[in-house]
Amino acid sequence: MKARLVYLTQISGEMASFYTIATNEKEGTFFEHFLKEHISEFECELLDIIARLKSMGTKHGAAYSFFKVDEGLEIDDRVCAIYDKPNVNLRLYCIRLSKQIVILGNGGYKAKNTRAWQDNIRLSREVHEMMRYSAIIREKIKTNKLFISTNKLTLEV
């Protein structure tokens, strides 16, 4: 199964670009799965996350303050979580490559009595998947198989 990055024009802008991962043309992207899975139960939370992403894309960039950083287990794996508000527990996991480029993954609900993502099978699976893709993407950048454009907003093959 070959994965590819998909540029998200609806939320990207002059300050930050967003991508997501697709592993199969017919099944959609990780971000689409996240939206479809949680729309019926967490519509308001999803709208807040989308508004936050659009704001990053057009006004603020992907500043650290919008993310729960260091969610992955490896040093500098760049896996983070985006949530609608700090006290709400819907998590969207991503790879924050820079203040201008973020790769959105999937996520889930973290119950209030759950201390960490490691204590939730679903969240653990999602974070580990993002860690795996982060390693692949960072290696491709390191070996010049994937480039960040001169304007720092685009990933190029």
List the alpha helices (DSSP H) in the chain: 30-38, 43-55, 121-142
Identify the band that residue 20 occupies on the pLDDT scale cut at 50, 70 and 90.
Answer: very high
Quick one: pLDDT at residue 62? 95
Average the pLDDT over 5-11 and give the result: 96
Identify the band that residue 75 occupies on the pLDDT scale cut at 50, 70 and 90.
Answer: confident
Identify the band that residue 32 occupies on the pLDDT scale cut at 50, 70 and 90.
Answer: very high
Amino acid at 74: E
Name the 3-class secondary structure at 119: helix
What confidence tens digit (pLDDT) does each residue in 113-127 have? Answer: 666 766 667 888 888
As a whole number of angstroms, the distance between CA 43 and CA 27 comes to: 22
As a whole number of angstroms, the distance between CA 49 and CA 79 comes to: 17
Largest CA distance in the chain: 45
Inform me whether the pLDDT recorded for 23 exceeds 80: yes
Average the pLDDT over 41-59 and give the result: 94
CA atoms within 13 A on the CB side of 25: 0
Rounded to the nearest integer, the mean pLDDT of the chain is 88
